[in-house]
Structure 1
Amino acid sequence: MEDVSLIILFLSVLGGYLLGIISGLLPGVHNNNFALALIALAPFLAEKGLSPFYIAVIILSNALSQTFHDVIPSVFLGAPDGDTALMVLPGHRLLLDGAGAEAVRLSALGSAGSVVASLIFVLPFSLFFKAIYPYIEAHMALILILIVFLMLASEKGESVEDSKEKSPFAKYKYKFFALVLFLITGLLGLFAFDRESLMVPVVNFGEPSILLPLLSGLFGSSQLIISLLTSSKIPEESVSALKLSRKRILRGILTGSAAGSLVAWLPGLSSAIAALLTGLAAKVDFDRITLKKKTSEPELGKLKTSLYSDPYASNPSTLESSKEFIVSNSGVNTSNAIFGLVAFVVIGRTRSGAMVAIEDILETNTLDLPILLLFFAAMVLTALFSYFSTIWIGNNAHLFLKKVNYSKLCAGVLIGLAVMVYLFTGLFGFFIFVISTPIGMLSSFMNVRKSHAMGVILLPVILYFL
């Protein structure tokens, strides 16, 4: 093990934490973007004396910090990434009630609690999954197909009783739409992965990844355009007092941590899918579209967009379930980031862009125990910073948004994202980015969950294991 400078380690944690704030707050920007840039800069940084270990710390801290801060644009701007898309629904309800800061605080609590729970689960889960992983791998296709079936079967879209359609088949329409979205994105993934060699980056930053244009289009630029086409009114005040029982908070943390740790061992599964499963367990109805008359819903042309729907207005008794889901969903994202490192060490598999970058930089999938403990210490420190900054930003976000032209912010990020994709992946990557963007918008027009767009990875992975 190389000598580790605590000062450089602290600065690396701080750098990753600050990058996580940026990738968490700016719609369409993801920690994978920074990870890709750090891979490209690794040789230059190594010449300056920054070893691959510290670069890996920056990437880990960035990934964890983002899981705390990405709730803020989801709640206040209705601009989620792929991992927080489901959180917009309950978060928007609290925002309209003037409690957006409470939603952010619940999320921060869920993420912080998940760090503690994940560290407790690390040893038993590692031993368990190391023992059964050969059996999981042997039946991987069947497991993934079952998860996809649960995703599609649970899709209800617009509530049937609120719909004008009286046909007995109306309730199956949204399941069909979800299947269509899954298949379209799956075919897009097959097309893109088979032609990954066509990418010729304008700026040579190492081996380009087809995931950058795919995920940037499906979950980044598509949501930025939706946000530009809609408008939302932020309440003048935003309270942060917690009004959820300790029992529900603890249950949300535990279920989220367990679900997030589970998907970290399986290929092609995102935190959004784990969040969906925890939501079903908590009996959260994501899809019912019934707004209070006193609120105004942004419109996408003449179509409602599920991103701004309030599934709880007609049933106030479910408000606590929505708050618990926010805690759980945040726990999923944070636990998934932590167990991505654990899975990398235990089974030698990468399940996230951050871990792919770390494997590339370290050029190994074997970590010594002292290095692993330092990684965990860096993540705990990042979580501590992130918890307080998330709450502070959540308490003041509505004041900041009064001074910022959100449309110009979205447009700027959209242009920057397109330029980055072109520079890192070339003309073919930019082509994939362009065709991925309208496909990513389909979920809003179909009124189905955006998580079905994970077919872009799931379908190719399923076919690989068949």
Structure 2
Amino acid sequence: MLLLSVLTGYTLGIFSGLVPGIHTNNFALMLVALSPIFMDWGIPPAYIAVAIVANSLSHSFHDIIPAIYLGAPNDDMALAVLPGHRLLLEGHGSEAIRLSALGSAGSVVVSLLLAVPLAFAFSILYPVLQSYLGWLLLLISIALIMTEKGEQVINQGSLVKYKYKAYALVLFLLTGILGTFAFRMESNMNPLIDIGSSSILLPLLSGLFGASQLIISLFSGSSIPPQKYSKMELPVKRIIRGVITGSAAGSVVAWLPGISSSIAAVLARLFIRSDFEKETVAEDEDFDEQMEGSKEFIIAVSGVNTANAIFGLFALAVIGKTRSGAMVAINEIIDAASLDQQFIILFLIVISLTAFLSYFSTIKIGNNIHRFLAKLDYSKICITVLAGLTLMSLLFTGLFGLMIFMISIPLGMSASFMKIRRSHAMGVILLPVILYFL
């Protein structure tokens, strides 16, 4: 029964990870809705919770694949589109998938090692951190803007760097204002299809990071070049740093209210020196450094998502707070107060088994999907995905969500024209959360 529950959640995670617009929360809510039927069949609530945990973890492995090959991110993988797309255009799409799988698998190991000490620490520090959360996010946002260097061109002058910082501030504020408006007016969403967990983040992030990149690719005549299988050429110290950075960021935000994996990815971005979002580079050495930074960032972002999925469970057990739709679903099936040591050990076994299966299936799919995509016209793929993102925004968030999606697209495209990092568009989440806590 335990193995069947793990395999069920693992399979659902593959599906939700590979299909843009389908989130792990959809299946978590579905399993909760069906739980009375399962219990009538003699299936204990613990095994339903096991399937939800396995689904959440499997999803965190596989959602990198559509983010890189289709440019269709969810709220967890939005920033991974940027370095992943660069590797894809260099013919290393499968390497990007393997790096992501390595980041997620490494994060599982690090998270399990940090679980007990972090659980003890946050049980004490949580009230203090919650009081200063707004100021902490404000400092992170300022650091994100101040580290913007812009396009490096000879003879630009010493003051040009402030121009790009100003551009970064403008993009941060504009997307932040849009995000604040969208979240406050989210009740105006009137989805044509109610999937139970519709969020305004779908049109916001699809427009800022997905559709905007696809439109630029269409107008620039981009295509998926022939892909080649290559070993992961990245220094061990960068791999370790990426895993630790992502795991640490993901584990921290899992305890805090109002903080998503996307914000943790922004935090991880500050510790990885790379201009992977720039369109041009001047010298081969700069290019090699940027490629290494891109690879390290993919590892870190993947580690963020997996660690966040794991530590969300510990946050539920230690402080009784839910930080994701999956944890809300588990809390409805199993009361947080009943999550004793035996349950935690059970979930750790489930996490380890699911991570083992997901690591190999992610690599297997990532190594072969380009053969299928190579038979298709890339411009038609872009148009199809664009149409899909537009349709999903309309179906799942209604006309209001479609309007937000359309407004988000030019803002996402503006980063390329201003020659600044597109990660500043994460103001769409950061600014509303800062205003909420301040």
Normalization by structure 2: what TM-score?
A: 0.83
Q: How does 1:207-356 map to 2 (within 5 A)?
A: 208-291=198-281, 314=286, 316=288, 320-356=292-328
User: Partner amino acid for 1:368?
Assistant: L
Aligned partner (choices 13, 31, 37) of residue 17 of structure 1: 13
Change over 3 Å in CA distance of 1:428–1:227 after alignment to 2: same
Change over 3 Å in CA distance of 1:185–1:141 after alignment to 2: same
C-alpha separation in 2, matches of 1:35 and 1:430: 21
Which residue of structure 2 aligns with residue 297 of structure 1? none
Is the 1:177–1:446 Cα contact (8 Å) retained in structure 2? yes
Which residue of structure 2 aligns with residue 425 of structure 1? 397
Q: Quick check: 1:368 aligned with 2:364?
A: no
C-alpha separation in 1, matches of 2:184 and 2:287: 47
Change over 3 Å in CA distance of 1:229–1:264 after alignment to 2: farther
Which residue of structure 2 aligns with residue 303 of structure 1? none
Which residue of structure 1 aligns with residue 102 of structure 2? 109
Which residue of structure 2 aligns with residue 393 of structure 1? 365
What is the CA-CA distance between 1:282 and the residue it aligns to? 3.9
SS at match of 2:230: coil
Which residue of structure 1 aligns with residue 130 of structure 2? 137
Change over 3 Å in CA distance of 1:430–1:349 after alignment to 2: farther
Q: How does 1:89-104 map to 2 (within 5 A)?
A: 90-91=83-84, 94-95=87-88, 98-104=91-97
Change over 3 Å in CA distance of 1:312–1:280 after alignment to 2: farther
What is the CA-CA distance between 1:171 and the residue it aligns to? 0.8
Deviations 1:353-386 (A, max 9, x none): 5445555x54855551344444433332222122
What is the CA-CA distance between 1:261 and the residue it aligns to? 1.4
Change over 3 Å in CA distance of 1:58–1:436 after alignment to 2: farther
What is the CA-CA distance between 1:392 and the residue it aligns to? 1.9
Q: Quick check: 1:6 aligned with 2:8?
A: no
C-alpha separation in 2, matches of 1:401 and 1:37: 27
Aligned partner (choices 156, 161, 170) of residue 160 of structure 2: 170
Change over 3 Å in CA distance of 1:201–1:47 after alignment to 2: farther
Q: Quick check: 1:382 aligned with 2:372?
A: no
Change over 3 Å in CA distance of 1:30–1:153 after alignment to 2: farther
- The alignment covers a number of residue pairs equal to 434
C-alpha separation in 2, matches of 1:208 and 1:235: 35
Deviations 1:213-262 (A, max 9, x none): 43444344444444444443444351332333444433332232122212
Which residue of structure 1 aligns with residue 422 of structure 2? 450
Change over 3 Å in CA distance of 1:312–1:462 after alignment to 2: farther
Which residue of structure 2 aligns with residue 71 of structure 1? 64
Give the % identical residues.
53
Which residue of structure 2 aligns with residue 308 of structure 1? none
| Coordinate RMSD, CA, aligned | 3.5
C-alpha separation in 1, matches of 2:328 and 2:382: 28
Which runs of 5 or more residues in structure 2 are unaligned? none
Is the 1:238–1:398 Cα contact (8 Å) retained in structure 2? no
Q: How does 1:403-422 map to 2 (within 5 A)?
A: 403-422=375-394
Is the 2:84–2:96 Cα contact (8 Å) retained in structure 1? yes
Change over 3 Å in CA distance of 1:411–1:379 after alignment to 2: farther
Give the stretch that moved more between structures: 190-199 or 385-394.
Answer: 190-199
Deviations 1:315-363 (A, max 9, x none): 536655554444333322322222233233333444445445555x548
What is the CA-CA distance between 1:404 and the residue it aligns to? 2.4
C-alpha separation in 1, matches of 2:90 and 2:397: 43
What is the CA-CA distance between 1:432 and the residue it aligns to? 3.0
C-alpha separation in 1, matches of 2:133 and 2:77: 26
Change over 3 Å in CA distance of 1:418–1:289 after alignment to 2: closer
Deviations 1:270-293 (A, max 9, x none): 43443444444343333554348x
Which residue of structure 2 aligns with residue 193 of structure 1? 183
Which residue of structure 1 aligns with residue 406 of structure 2? 434
User: Partner amino acid for 1:108?
Assistant: A
Normalization by structure 1: what TM-score?
A: 0.79
Which residue of structure 2 aligns with residue 157 of structure 1? 150
Is the 1:269–1:454 Cα contact (8 Å) retained in structure 2? no
Change over 3 Å in CA distance of 1:267–1:155 after alignment to 2: farther
C-alpha separation in 1, matches of 2:430 and 2:363: 34
C-alpha separation in 2, matches of 1:215 and 1:51: 37
What is the CA-CA distance between 1:132 and the residue it aligns to? 0.7
Change over 3 Å in CA distance of 1:62–1:43 after alignment to 2: closer
User: Partner amino acid for 2:174?
Assistant: I
